[in-house]
Structure formats: C-alpha cells, structure tokens
Amino acid sequence: MLSLALENSAEESNEAILIRRIRNGEHELFYDLIRPYERRVYAAAFAILRNEADAEEVAQEAVLKAFKHIRQFRAEARFSTWLIQITVNEARMRKRKDHAHIMEAISDHRDEEGDYTPRDFADWREIPSETLERSEIREALTRALAAIGEKYQEVFVLRDVQHLTIEETAKTLKISAAAVKTRLLRARLMLRDLLSPGLGGNWSSKLSFVKGAKPWE
Amino acid sequence: MGMSCQEVWREVSNYLEDDIDPAVRASVEAHLRGCAHCTAVMDGTRNVIRLYGDKAMLEVPLGFSQRLHQRLEANMPPRQRGTPWGWVMAVAASLLIVGGFELGSSAAFMANELRSEHAIPAASHTPPDLMVVVAEDGKVFHGGTRCPFMHEKNKERVMRASEAIREGYVPCTRCMKQYLSAGLTTPDFHWGISAEVAALQPMR
Ligand SMILES: [Zn+2]
Ligand SMILES: [Zn+2]
C-alpha cells in the first residue's frame, strides 16, 4: 500500500514536471505524457461509441484537444482523469450527431429505479486473469458489456475498467455520485448474470463452472 | 434478525469496495454463510470487477499508437529549437573547418564561395554524425526530401554528411541558400536533422 502510494506520487510529480516543460514549449514531451494513457483513452471512446473507427478518431481528437488546451489543465486534478473527461465529452458529442442515439436514450430510461434481481446463481469459481490472454474470453467480456444499457456501460467502464473514483466518474458524466453508485451496482449485477452461465457457453466446461438452479425463472 | 437476499444485493458494491458500516458488513457475512445464492452473486460480481479491471481489457487496434502520434506530429507547431536547415550550416562548417575529408573540387569551390561572402562562425559545434539525403540524380546532397532540386525522390538514401562528402557529393545550393537566408548565427543553434530526414531509414 505504502509503496503504491509512493509510486503514485512520484508519477504525479513526474507528470507535473512534464506538463510544465510542455507548456514552456517542449512540445515533443507530450508524447511521453500521454503514452501511459493511450489505451485508456481509446477504451473510454470505444465504450461510448462501440465502433472501432469512430473510437480511434475520437481518441485522436481528444488527445489533440488535450495538447491544445494543456494550459487549462489544473494541477489539482489528475491528468489521466482530465484526459478521460475530454475523451468522454468528445465521444458524447460525436454520438449526439447520430440520430439513432435519441431513440436509444429514451429506451435507456427504463429500470433506473428499483432493485435489480440477479437471475443466475451458478457458483462462480475464481477465474484467473491469465485467461484474459485468450481472445475468446476478452470477446465474451466485450459482448456482455455491449449488451447492458448505455448509461450502465459508461459508468461501469469509467469506474471498473478505467478505475476513476466515484466522484471523478460523476463529474465526467455530469451525474450525482448517488446515481453513479446505483448504475454501477446494476451494471455489475447485469454483467455477472450475462457472464455467469459460462461466458457464452464455452467457459463452463473449461473453467469448471457449476451451473446452479435458477429458482426465480 | 437477518438480512433478506434482496437487502444483501443492495450492498454488493459497498461490501466489495469495503465502503460499508461494520454492523452491516457483519449482517451480510452472516447471510452469506447460510445462502449459496447470495454467495454466488457476491463471488461472481467480484470476478466481474477483477476481470474487467485487468489491463488486458484495454485493447487497442493494431497501429493505434503510431497513427495517434502521426496525427499529433501533423498538428504540433514547428519545433522551436533548431531549424530544418541546421544541417546545411553544419555542412558549411564541416567543409570549411574540418580537415581530413577529401573534398571534391566543386565542394571546395563552394566552400571558398561561402568563405568570401559569409563569415562562418568557428565550428566548435562540428557535427559528428550529421545525416543528409542524397538522390541518385546527381552528386548533390540535401537537407530534406522536400527540396525541389531533388529528383528521383524514391531513390534517395540517407547517410552521414562525412560519407556523402567522401563519396563525392556536394551540398545542394538551394538548401544552402535557404539556410543562409534564415540566418547563420542563431544563438541556440542546434545541429538537429530535419524531421523528414529523421523519418527516413538510414542506410546500413
Ligand atoms: Zn441470500
Ligand atoms: Zn536541395
């Protein structure tokens, strides 16, 4: 814990130095500044746009915007959070241009209130992270994520994939912290249900899932 | 009195993030001990958070980073330090000051021209391994591939200025003039190579 905290503060002061030098005209250092976050920028854009080409385009726009507005970055925020916020804004603007989105937003409003009832009670053994090296596993996770409503997806990706805090997620999406928590819980439970029967059927045998009863179905 | 299953589900996030009142935590744990369903929900959700939280989930398309850097490069203001013609200055200096190269006659001629018209500052900055572009269209080397005097642009080679001179190449007059008109003696003169020269693969 302590070493992690030290690492984080070292990383932050390093960033502060980089940012100062970039502001003073050493523009090439911007590559070093963003290198650790390039994947996260893409993932944030993809979570909202769900299209590789659009996500890449928006990721580029967001990084360019961060470069052009580097003077507006405030030192009290984390650079990574600021960059992800720019990305989310860009992605949402892109999405707003898309007419179909309006329909989706309306249908998205259902079920916000009330409890989510889990549907699958299979016993999940612990799944080793090494299985993520297999592309079919990653695809199953991506498919499940695409299957939950957009507003759950956004919250889940920012909090559980991007590791933003609840407050940062709330600020990025311009919703309350309470709404973040509600959506996050629902997103997690929905994903668990979607993945629980064995990640598309392939997993149960390979990873010795035990299929449980579903008494409420 | 125990918690219901539904009450436990409401606490799943709080429990897993350890953002929970100790009394509520104790109640959840008591329920989990006697309820296989809620245990499955809790374990499964923990798995979901751990799997999606893994760095492996941050996959990007092939070449993403490269394309991003190209886009940035194209949108960055021109470098403040160094000039694209810095190499010409360096060549001029090397022609004038550095002995030991066997200069071709035209190169020597050009060096004399330069000496008479422009005072070249003492080259305490003699470039060790300056990279220049040569084309197969003549015995001339250039500062970059954008030079209009350079033909056969697909046949260019990048090499050290010293090698180019040894092979009998001379600096392109246009590249030279362009540099000279930009001013010879900028205080923080930088022996940088131009971006487009850097982008070419040096010949082995
Ligand atoms: Zn229960
Ligand atoms: Zn030339």
Assess whether A71 and A142 both reside in one domain. no
A23 and A69 co-located in one domain: yes
Could you tell me if A79 and A156 lie in one domain?
A: no
Same domain, residue pair A75 and A139:
no
B53 & B88 share domain: no
User: A-chain residues within 8 Å CB-CB of B198?
Assistant: none
Quote the ligand 1 centre to B38 CA distance (angstroms): 4
Say whether both A72 and A10 belong to one domain. Answer: yes
Cross-chain Cβ contact B40/A38 below 8 Å: no
Amino acid at site A60: Q
pLDDT digits (tens, 9 = 90+) for A173-185: 889 999 999 999 9
The confidence score (pLDDT) of residue A83 equals 94
Helix (H, G, I), strand (E, B) or coil at B157: strand
Of the ranges A63-72, B6-15, B190-199, which one carries the lowest mean pLDDT score? B190-199
β-bridge mates for residue B133, sequence order: B142, B158
Residues of A in contact with B49 (CB under 8 A): 160, 188
Residue A122 to chain B, least CA–CA distance (Å)? 6
The verdict on ipTM greater than 0.90 is no
Residue A168: give its domain's CATH number. Answer: 1.10.10.10
Task: Establish if A128 belongs to a structural domain.
Answer: no
Per residue in A116-156, pLDDT (tens digit) is 887 777 776 666 677 776 777 888 888 888 888 888 999 99
Confidence of residue B186 (pLDDT cuts 50, 70, 90): very low
Q: CA dist B16 to A158, B3, B29, B71, Å?
A: 17, 17, 12, 41
B204 found inside a domain:
no
* Minimum Cα–Cα distance from A162: chain B residue: B53
Those residues whose C-beta lies under 8 Å from the C-beta of residue B135, and which sit 6 or more positions away, are: B142, B150, B151, B152, B153, B155, B156, B157
- Encoded tokens for B31: 């329920």
* Predicted confidence band of residue B185 (pLDDT cuts 50, 70, 90): very low
Residues with CB in 5 Å of ion ligand 2: B 142, 147, 149, 172, 174-175
Whether B92 is covered by a domain: the verdict is yes
B90 and B49, same structural domain? no
Q: Please tell me the total count of domains within chain A.
A: 2
In a shared domain, residues A8 and A84: yes
Domain range for B146 is 83-198
In a domain, A155, yes or no: yes
- Chain A residue numbers with beta carbons less than 8 Å from the beta carbon of B69 are 31
- Asked if B41 and B141 sit in the same domain, the reply is no
Residue B169 lies in a domain: yes
**Does the residue B89 lie in any domain?**
yes
Shared domain for B39 and B93, answered yes or no, is no
Number of domains in chain B: 2
- How far apart are the CA of B143 and the centre of ligand 2, in A? 6
How confident is the model over A57-67, as a mean pLDDT?
96
Cβ-proximal residues to B41 (8 Å cutoff; 6+ apart), any chain: A118, A121, A189, A192, B8, B9, B12
Q: Concatenate the DSSP letters of all residues of A189-217 into one string.
A: HHHHHHHTTTTTTTHHHHTT-B----TT-
Q: Which residue has the tokens 């920012």?
A: A158
Domain presence at residue A111: no
Please tell me whether residues B126 and B189 are part of one structural domain. Answer: yes
**How many angstroms is it from B34 CA to the middle of ligand 1?**
8
Q: A88 and A139, same structural domain?
A: no
Q: What is the pLDDT of residue B58?
A: 77
Q: Is the residue at A217 inside a domain?
A: no
Q: Is this prediction's pTM over 0.90?
A: no
- Let me know whether A74 and A142 are in one domain: no
Does the pLDDT at position A164 exceed 60? yes
Q: Tell whether B73 is covered by a domain.
A: no
Q: Which position has the token pair 């992690």?
A: A4
For residues A91 and A140, state if they share a domain.
no
B58 touches chain A (CB under 8 A): yes
**pLDDT tens track for A81-130:** 899 999 999 998 888 776 555 545 444 545 556 788 877 777 766 666 77
Q: Is residue B178's pLDDT more than 70?
A: no
Report the residue of chain B nearest A68, measured CA to CA. Answer: B76
Q: Which domain holds residue A188?
A: 133-207
- What is the spatial distance between Cα A128 and Cα A70, in angstroms, rounded to a whole number? 40
Mean pLDDT lowest for which of A195-199, B10-14, B16-20, B189-193?
B189-193
Asked whether the beta carbons of B140 and B167 are under 8 A apart, the reply is no
Q: Rounded to an integer, what is the distance from CA A106 to the centroid of its chain?
A: 22
Residue A125, domain member (yes or no): no
CATH number at residue A64: 1.10.1740.10
CA distance B176 to A57: 40
